[in-house]
Amino acid sequence: MGAEPNPAKWHHYVPRMLLRGFATDKDLITAVRLPGDTTFTATTKSVAAKKHLYSVEAEGQAPDAFEKSLGEVEADASRIIRQIVEGRARLSEEDRNGLAFFIALQAARGPETKRSMEHVASEALRMQIGAGGKEALRRKVAQEAEREPTNDELEALWDRVMEPGAVLAPMTNLAFVKHIVTTAQGLLPYISGRPWTVHRFAQRSLIVSDSPVGLIPHPDDEDDNPWGGVGFMGAWGITFPLTRKVGIMMSDPMVFAGLIPVERVRAGHFDQTMQGTAAVEKLFNEMTVRGAREWVYHHPDDARFVPSDLPEPDLLGVQMVGERIEFNGEPMFPRAENHA
Q: What is the model's pTM?
A: 0.88
Could you tell me if residue 195 is inside a domain?
Answer: yes
Q: What is the pLDDT of residue 223?
A: 52
Q: Could you tell me if residue 75 is inside a domain? A: yes
> In the Cβ-directed half-sphere of 150, how many Cα atoms lie within 13 Å?
3
The CA distance from 208 to 292, in Å, is: 9
3-state SS class at 279: helix
Does some domain include residue 121? Answer: no
Q: Who's near 177: CB < 8 A, 6+ residues apart?
A: 54, 56, 66
Domain of residue 82, residue span? 10-113+171-304
Predicted pLDDT of residue 318: 63
**Is 154 inside any structural domain?**
no
Q: What is the DSSP letter of 311?
A: P
Express each pLDDT in 206-252 by its tens digit.
999 999 999 999 877 655 443 346 788 889 999 999 999 999 999 98
How many whole angstroms separate alpha carbon 146 and alpha carbon 126? 22
**Residue 322 clears pLDDT 90, i.e. is over it:** no
Q: How confident is the model at residue 303 (pLDDT cuts 50, 70, 90)?
A: very high
In sign, the C-alpha dihedral spanning 119, 292, 81, 188 is: positive
What is the count of structural domains for the chain? 1
| 312 belongs to a structural domain | no
Backbone angles phi, psi at 91, to 5 degrees: -85, 150
Mind listing the pLDDT tens digit for each residue in 245-298?
999 999 988 777 778 888 898 899 999 999 999 999 999 999 999 999 999 999
pLDDT recorded at residue 58: 75
Bridge partners of 196, per DSSP, are 250
Confidence of residue 328 (pLDDT cuts 50, 70, 90): confident
18 occurs within a structural domain: yes
